[in-house]
């Protein structure tokens, strides 16, 4: 009885690890997905000209629109140019970045912010060249307070001395205030939307919230665009900008952990 349960758990873990592995750009990733990320990279690079470290935040209106997936793949794509990149998981409510790497991620940003570990020890070297990450760390009771602290400013300043790009993965702006707070430390904000999922009114609300804190919105990503006629199997397509062809079919997906503690649209499981 226990034996079978253990095997099931092991198998589930293996499958999850496999799914997470596929979410990140890898040798099997299709040409069009790679190209979409490169286009996004170029657009971001052109939106933030000048020298010095570029700090980019991704957020979305509600949960599960693909912020973490998009952010991670964008960070990989920028690191491929030879730039030194760090991705910080600032989502201390439903952290995702460690999961994508199948790591525990129990030491990270929150630990640094409460002086529980040094910045150096919180930096995780990924297998991707030029790409480091900082996990969100132990889930604290007061994320907004930590993220708006002087220690956060100091941490970002230190990282900016060492990295060419800092990407901030954040929770949905309509649900919690964290992204608006962090946007003050960044040069630009990318809003991630998801085809057939993002609600127009909620998106406009997100834009308003960002405008209210004077964030520079540098673009909109339309995630999970699937060309029904394309012969590529497997993963959804990403597109930068606002346009897409008609006739895509939708990808279903599930979400089974944590909550931001407010209403979020149910994902469809077609
Ligand atoms: N283009 C895509 N094609 C298929 N599945 C996707 C795509 N983008 C995201 N997903 C799936 O949707 C789920 C949510 O993605 P992700 O964690 O990136 O979203 P998020 O906006 O960061 O969520 P959260 O609000 O919880 O932080 C994951 O299970 C992921 O695998
Ligand atoms: Mg996320």
Domains belonging to the chain, first-starting first, are: 52-240 (3.40.50.300)
At residue 7, the pLDDT reads 73
CA 1–ligand 2 middle distance (angstroms): 36
**What would the pLDDT profile of 87-130 be if each residue is shown by its tens digit?**
999 999 999 999 999 999 999 999 999 999 999 999 999 999 99
Choose among 86, 66, 65: nearest CA to 75: 86
- Atom number, ligand 1, closest to the C-alpha of residue 192: 21
Q: Are 147 and 178 in contact (CB under 8 A)?
A: yes
At residue 1, the pLDDT reads 55
At residue 13, the pLDDT reads 87
Reported pTM: 0.86
CA 63–ligand 2 middle distance (angstroms): 7
CA distances from 159 to 121, 132, 142, 153, 167 (A): 13, 11, 23, 10, 11
Q: Is 232 in the pocket of ligand 1 (CB under 6 A)?
A: no
Low-confidence residues of the chain: pLDDT under 50: 230-258, 261-270
- Atom number, ligand 1, closest to the C-alpha of residue 96: 17
CA 23–ligand 1 middle distance (angstroms): 9
DSSP 96-109: -HHHHTT----SSH
Which ligand is located closest to the Cα atom of residue 94?
Answer: 1
At residue 241, the pLDDT reads 38
């Amino acid at each position: 009885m226990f034996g079978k349960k253990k095997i099931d758990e092991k198998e589930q873990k293996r499958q999850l690890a496999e799914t997470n592995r596929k979410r990140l750009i890898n040798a099997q990733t299709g040409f069009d997905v790679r190209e979409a990320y490169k286009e996004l990279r170029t657009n971001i690079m052109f939106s933030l000209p000048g020298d010095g470290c570029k700090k980019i935040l991704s957020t979305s209106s509600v949960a599960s629109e693909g912020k973490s997936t998009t952010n991670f793949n964008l960070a990989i794509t920028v690191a491929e140019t030879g730039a030194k990149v760090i991705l910080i998981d600032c989502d201390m409510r439903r952290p995702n970045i460690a999961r994508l790497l199948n790591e525990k991620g129990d030491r990270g940003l929150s630990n640094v912010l409460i002086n529980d570990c040094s910045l150096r020890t919180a930096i995780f070297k990924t297998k991707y060249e030029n790409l480091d990450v900082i996990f969100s760390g132990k889930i604290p009771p007061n994320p907004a307070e930590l993220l708006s602290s002087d220690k956060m400013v100091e941490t970002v300043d230190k990282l900016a001395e060492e990295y060419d790009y800092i990407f901030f993965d954040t929770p949905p702006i309509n649900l919690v205030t964290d992204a608006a707070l962090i946007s003050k430390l960044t040069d630009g904000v990318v809003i991630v939307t998801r085809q057939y999922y993002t609600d127009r009114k909620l998106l406009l609300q997100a834009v308003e919230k960002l405008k209210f804190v004077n964030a520079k919105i540098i673009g909109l990503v339309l995630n999970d665009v699937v060309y029904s006629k394309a012969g590529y199997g497997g993963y959804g397509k990403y597109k930068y900008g606002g346009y897409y062809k008609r006739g895509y079919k939708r990808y279903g997906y599930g979400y089974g952990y944590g909550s931001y503690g407010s209403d979020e649209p149910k994902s469809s499981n077609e």
